[in-house]
Amino acid sequence: MQFIPYLNFDGNCAEAFAFYAKVLGGTIVYQGTFGEMPPQPGMPPLPESARGRVMHVHLQAGAQSLMGSDAMPAMPGQGSGACAGGYQKPQGLWVSIQVETPAEGRRVFDALAEGGQVAMSFAETFFSSGFGMAVDRFGTPWMINVQAPA
């Protein structure tokens, strides 16, 4: 079994994942837009404003994956909730990254925190030689933690 974080964005998913690939040293192995999807029976017409949005992206960094998409724009008459379209900010979660050294933790934390909001500065704690929390400029909440030696 594997758990893969799946992130949502409001039209800037491609920019966010290009940034994450650079920071995390990964490769985007797939990226497709809503406009590239083949038509499906019973699917409502795609609004022009959604065509360039990312339908799905998969970033591979070593043995780890990160996936995401842009939310569909809110569409009148489509009900409520995530399936109705319209971006909703992440709540109640943090994406945790485990790194091997404080230097690597500092590098990743500083990159993700730039232009975002620091919730807890990266520093040594009673449980780690380096830990910090930040919400990046795209709205994704991250925790960076230096793994304790085994």
Domain spanning 89-150, CATH class: alpha beta
Domains 1-74 and 89-150 share a fold: yes
Q: Give 75's pLDDT tier (boundaries 50, 70, 90).
A: low
What ranges do the domains of the chain cover?
Answer: 1-74, 89-150
Residue 79 pLDDT greater than 50, yes or no:
no
Q: Please state which architecture CATH assigns to domain 1-74.
A: 2-Layer Sandwich (3.30)
- Across the chain, what does the average pLDDT equal? 91
pLDDT, tens digit, for every residue of 94-135?
999 999 999 999 999 999 999 999 999 999 999 999 999 999
Per-residue exposure over 34-72, b if at least 16 CB sit within 10 Å of its own CB, e if not? beeeeeeeeeeeeeeebeebbbbbbbbeeeebbebbbbb
